[in-house]
Structure 1
Amino acid sequence: MRDRRKTGSGNERSCCERIRPQCHVRAVNLFLSPLSPVPKIPYIRWWIAALLFLISILNYIDRQSLALLIPTIQSELHMSDQQYGNVVSVFLIAYAVSYFISGWLVDKLGARLALFLFLSVWAAADMLSGLAASVLMLGVARFFLGLGEAGGYSTSPKVVSEWFPAKERGIVVGLYSMGSAIGATVAPILVLWVANRYSWRAALICTGVLALLVAIGWLLFYRTPDRHPLITEKERDQLKDLGASDEAKTAALRGVEVWRMIMTSPVVWTLLAARMLTDPVWYFFLFWLPKYLHSARDFDQQHLAQTWKIYLAADIGFLFSGFASAWLIKRRWEAPAARRCVMGFAVIFFPLAPVIALSDHLFWVFAVAMLIAFAHTTWLGSLSTYIVDLVPRPILGTTFGFIGAGSALGGLAMNQGVTWAISHFSYTPCFYAMTFLHPLAFVLVWLLTRRAWKPAAS
């Protein structure tokens, strides 16, 4: 009996030892194996869109935090307005460099690994910003934040092209683009609450921790439609041929040929110029509008929380851009024509921008600022989707990164111009400059991008 008990006990242990690794492997395969018999999620592409939306929110909370906290940071680190402008410029230089690199990385590594890398870098940089003991250390941290954050906007169009047909792309781009404005809307409330309750350092560290958690979630959840373990067969079949013609045309392309296609395309250079001309308006609203309200309108740091109203209007603009173009497409407009129509509607509001500086009433300051924010995000959401419509999917990441670099270069020029203007005059010339940038860009887009993508057929 004693021998049997020993033998039985040994067999039980042996069975447990065999079962435990199998259970562990099955648990891991729930996320990592496309072959696991796990429950499917209907319409999983919209869950992926929601994740892009969340990443975009965090991107702009992290980015907006410095502008909101600058009164306290300037006091503690003895930072001048010129030094603040330099820190913003360092961020934008890194942002431009990252756009060139990140698009190529997305095409090489795929959206899953590339975005995990970008999220991890910007999370670490944001936490490092909270530990900065000098202006130099803060500048270094914001440089790495720029390197990480640009990658999010190179990856998202690639994900949209992999998961969504043309009729849904405008809505999805509008959705994740709206995340940036919602991030800017939430930031004045969330960041300033943490800063007032604890410190500005705690606010920056908390936002970095949130970004790191989202990075881990993205790595576990994201796959392409053909490899995702949670996609239904019906949805997989719907997305099976998405972009197949583009894949056939560009399957043999390698590095030099891809860049030749991009650099010789008038469409790409026109879209780059459009971003370079118009994105400075949005960068001004992010980096300098809180500073303008603090310096020229006597807002203290606590009252800067009211800027959420302006960024809420920007949220509406992103949503409007997607649904307006989708409405036109349902009425048999071609997708690119629908995007151009919405962009044309947006440009009519920008001549009102000087009212922000000239009015003595805060009601009109905020009302016009909200209108300009709405108009710009309507424009930007449509332009971003327009790029996805025109560019072949296999080179979309690289192309979008190249065009996005124009955005960062325009922002860098804006930042230097604003620093010079407030040193020699006031903020007023900045608002006058907003009157003609979008109309000029629209004329370029209308004249030079209505022909098909020529290099893709070569």
Structure 2
Amino acid sequence: MGVGGVSRAGRTRWVLLGLLFLSTIINYLDRQALSILATTIQADLGMSDLEYARVVQVFLLAYAGAYVLAGRVTDWLGAKLALMLFIGWWSLANIATGMVRSAVELGAARFALGLGEPGNYTVGTKVVSEQFPPSERGLALGLYTAGAMIGATIAPPLIGGIALVYGWRSAFWITGVVGLLWIVLWWWAYPKQPKAEATAAQPSMKGVWGKLARTPAVWTLVASRAVADPVWYFYLFWFPKYLGDARGMSLATVASLAWIVYVTADIGSVGGGAISGVLVRRGMTPVRSRLTAMTGAAILAPLGFFITLHPSVPVLFALACTVTFAHLVYQINLTSMVVDIFPSRYIASVAGLIGCGSALGGMASAQVVGELVSGNAFDRTFVLMAFLHPLAVLLAYLALRLARRSPLSLLYAGPAQRA
């Protein structure tokens, strides 16, 4: 390939990353809209806190199951067509959310949303695995994942503002239409995949997927995400509600303040990837650099425990910001570690299984949190969250040891020697 071809390929990968960043913003706007408007929607539809918790659970149930399917669909269709399918589906589901008239209909609409949203992350992981070298993967994952935090950051003022001016239903309609418009940009920007490359990975995928499902390292990584991610789901789905119910803040106040917590998550997303990238450039192995950053995050995240002391609002937000920062450092580096361990040919399938663990952990925690919140026990919830990251990082270390013994891992040299 000539210099012009290399330069063009380099530009293309950053354009694709930029579009993934935008799709992730849309993904989180659509997801976060419900938590921002929870109190308003509950009043309009006559829903209790437990009914709201069940709607969150229904979303996460669909999200968990769809993650496994999304990984296989991504490896099968390729990134271009797969993401068009996923974002088109979830955008229509978000529009449907603005048309519901009961708690049951709301649950059905959010279930449909959950079926589409995981695909954004299986496609993103595959694109990074295929397009970026190890020293840039953490940063690339951090940059596009930062879209999640940008979405969560702008959601309170944007969604709250639309709802205050046009009504809560319009917030879902407008963000859904934006997703449909994004599809045009993806179709235009994504380069055609060579036929030989598109068909090369297909023959052995069935066998490989079955082997992945029987690989202990994969399931230990699934467990690590399942343990850590309930912390993020709590701050995503319940923290705005905590500000309103436990701290007595109005919708307008929540809309003006809650975004701060997600800005620091953005910093953790980009900074966490950059930190491990620097360590790689200084000679540390990619996997070891990810684990080093994750260990630091696991030390910081338990500071959220001190929210139970009911500090002043500035201290409350400082603690919450520390937790969201730490979580995104952890999440980005865990994802980067997965990309370092497994080949790009089936990385989306691995990412789908691990994402399923994330959603299952969130779904299980939603029931626990719902029960605690109904009993006015937000404090006990913060205590519970403080223990999760230390446990998750121990599982990540175990996964590395198991990966070195797995024939499907890039860290295992056996297959090449025995071939």
Structure 2 CA distance for aligned equivalents of residues 410 and 368 of structure 1: 23
**Structure 1's 453 and 59: CA in aligned 2 closer, same or farther, altered over 3 A?**
farther
User: Residue 453 of structure 1: CA displacement?
Assistant: 6.2
Which runs of structure 2 are paired with 1:340-359 in the superposition (5 Å)?
340-359=291-310
1:58 to 23, 26, 31: 26
Moved over 4 A (4+): 39-42, 224-227
Q: Give CA-to-partner distance per residue, 1:96-121, whole Å, 9 cap, x none.
A: 11001110100111111111000001
Match of 1:388 in 2: 339
Match of 1:258 in 2: 208
Matched, 1:338 2:289: yes
CA contact (8 A) 1:95 1:405 kept: yes
Matched, 1:117 2:85: yes
Amino acid at match of 2:286: A
Match of 2:169 in 1: 201
2:387 to 433, 436, 449: 436
Q: Give CA-to-partner distance per residue, 1:204-252, whole Å, 9 cap, x none.
A: 100000111112221222136758xxxxxxxxxxxxxxxx9xx99x775
User: Residue 448 of structure 1: CA displacement?
Assistant: 3.3
Matched, 1:454 2:379: no
Q: Give CA-to-partner distance per residue, 1:130-150, whole Å, 9 cap, x none.
A: 111211111111001000101
CA contact (8 A) 2:226 2:359 kept: yes
Structure 2 CA distance for aligned equivalents of residues 322 and 160 of structure 1: 13
User: Residue 357 of structure 1: CA displacement?
Assistant: 2.7
Match of 1:418 in 2: 369
**Structure 1's 297 and 99: CA in aligned 2 closer, same or farther, altered over 3 A?**
same
User: Residue 254 of structure 1: CA displacement?
Assistant: 3.2
Matched, 1:167 2:117: no
Structure 2 CA distance for aligned equivalents of residues 343 and 74 of structure 1: 38
Which runs of structure 2 are paired with 1:204-219 in the superposition (5 Å)?
204-219=172-187
CA contact (8 A) 1:154 1:401 kept: yes
Structure 2 portions without partners, runs of 5+: 1-6, 409-413
Structure 2 CA distance for aligned equivalents of residues 224 and 372 of structure 1: 41
2:318 to 367, 389, 393: 367
TM-score by length of 2: 0.92
Structure 1 CA distance for aligned equivalents of residues 167 and 368 of structure 2: 31
1:285 to 218, 223, 235: 235
Match of 1:322 in 2: 273
Q: Give CA-to-partner distance per residue, 1:399-451, whole Å, 9 cap, x none.
A: 11011100000000110000111233511111111222111111121133144
Amino acid at match of 2:247: R
Structure 1 CA distance for aligned equivalents of residues 34 and 375 of structure 2: 24
Once superposed, what is the RMSD of the aligned Cα atoms?
Answer: 2.0
Structure 1 CA distance for aligned equivalents of residues 160 and 306 of structure 2: 28
User: Residue 260 of structure 1: CA displacement?
Assistant: 2.7
> How much identity, in percent, do the aligned residues show?
42
Match of 1:270 in 2: 220
CA contact (8 A) 2:302 2:389 kept: no
1:151 to 119, 126, 130: 119
Deviates more, 1:424-433 or 1:141-150: 424-433
Amino acid at match of 1:302: A
Matched, 1:297 2:297: no
SS in 2 for 1:354: helix
CA contact (8 A) 2:220 2:398 kept: no
Amino acid at match of 1:303: T
Amino acid at match of 2:386: T
Structure 2 CA distance for aligned equivalents of residues 254 and 331 of structure 1: 36
SS in 2 for 1:455: coil
CA contact (8 A) 1:99 1:150 kept: yes
Structure 2 CA distance for aligned equivalents of residues 359 and 134 of structure 1: 35
TM-score by length of 1: 0.84
Which runs of structure 2 are paired with 1:83-98 in the superposition (5 Å)?
83-98=51-66
User: Residue 266 of structure 1: CA displacement?
Assistant: 1.9
Structure 2 CA distance for aligned equivalents of residues 91 and 309 of structure 1: 25
**Structure 1's 259 and 186: CA in aligned 2 closer, same or farther, altered over 3 A?**
same
**Structure 1's 334 and 251: CA in aligned 2 closer, same or farther, altered over 3 A?**
farther
Aligned length: 401
CA contact (8 A) 1:265 1:453 kept: no
2:105 to 137, 140, 149: 137
Amino acid at match of 1:70: A
Structure 2 CA distance for aligned equivalents of residues 224 and 189 of structure 1: 38
SS in 2 for 1:132: coil
Matched, 1:47 2:15: yes
Q: Give CA-to-partner distance per residue, 1:240-288, whole Å, 9 cap, x none.
A: xxxx9xx99x775231x12232122221011000000000000001111
**Structure 1's 40 and 394: CA in aligned 2 closer, same or farther, altered over 3 A?**
closer
CA contact (8 A) 2:302 2:323 kept: no
Structure 1 CA distance for aligned equivalents of residues 8 and 332 of structure 2: 31
Structure 1 portions without partners, runs of 5+: 1-38, 228-243
Structure 1 CA distance for aligned equivalents of residues 9 and 334 of structure 2: 31
CA contact (8 A) 1:346 1:379 kept: yes
Structure 2 CA distance for aligned equivalents of residues 224 and 340 of structure 1: 36
SS in 2 for 1:302: helix
SS in 2 for 1:218: helix
Structure 2 CA distance for aligned equivalents of residues 388 and 360 of structure 1: 40
Match of 2:3 in 1: none
Q: Give CA-to-partner distance per residue, 1:39-95, whole Å, 9 cap, x none.
A: 958622111111111111111111000000111111111111111111111100000
Structure 2 CA distance for aligned equivalents of residues 410 and 376 of structure 1: 15
Structure 2 CA distance for aligned equivalents of residues 112 and 42 of structure 1: 17
Amino acid at match of 1:54: L
